[in-house]
Chains A and B, each alone.
Chain A
């Protein structure tokens, strides 16, 4: 079966750095996505990786290793507004998105 694993919850301190991991086992691979979802709101797109390596976008970076079935989302200079759930999703060989359950990130002052 297809599976996306990410931690259920993480806690970090304002101003610090946090890394949210995602491992996947899917039928084929056509890209990995990270979305941010604040409580009670819609998910919003953060990043897309299809090649190995690091993609940096401001305070957020996303890394992919296809051989290891592994990605992480790195958040730097954490702000209170970064408190949200972070969803990892993989597009399989049929171009269908398989979603992880999300990681709830709690930022403490």
Chain B
């Protein structure tokens, strides 16, 4: 089934540890995004990539890094996790040539930092 796959689904992590959330899409979309979703707040953009080889900072990039070596993969890395990074993380993609700009989301990765 075409779509976006995220891993892991959930993870409990000790503060100070390094963590990479994986995201893979098979729709050949050129744009990809990482959001975090916290209770009572809207989705907040962490980083984005308009095309393979390029990345950009979103609204809340501090403490996170991304890479886009190819079209399909867009991993998100927390270099040294802190409790405030406890959240649900969603990867998304879009076909930026389409008129609607519709986003397709992965199922999310629930991260708890203790």
Contacts and interface: CB of A to CB of B under 8 A. Distances in A.
Contacts of A106: none
B74 interface: no
A96 interface: yes
A100 B58 CA distance: 16
A54 interface: no
B101 interface: yes
Interface string B81-109: 00000000010000000001111111110
B1 interface: no
A100 B90 contact: no
B14 interface: no
11 contacts: A33-B101, A43-B90, A43-B103, A48-B102, A87-B42, A89-B42, A89-B43, A97-B43, A97-B103, A99-B42, A101-B42
B101 A99 contact: no
Interface residues of A, number: 21
B103 A98 contact: no
Chain B interface: which size bin?
A: 10 to 19
A12 interface: no
A48 B45 contact: no
B53 interface: no
A35 B40 CA distance: 16
Given A31-B101, A33-B101, A43-B105, 10 more contacts: A31-B100, A42-B90, A42-B105, A42-B106, A42-B108, A45-B102, A89-B42, A96-B45, A97-B43, A99-B43
Contacts of B104: 45
Interface in B15-58: 40-45, 58
User: Which 4 pairs across A and B sit closest by C-beta, in order of nearness?
Assistant: A99-B42, A42-B105, A99-B43, A48-B100
Nearest to B90: A42
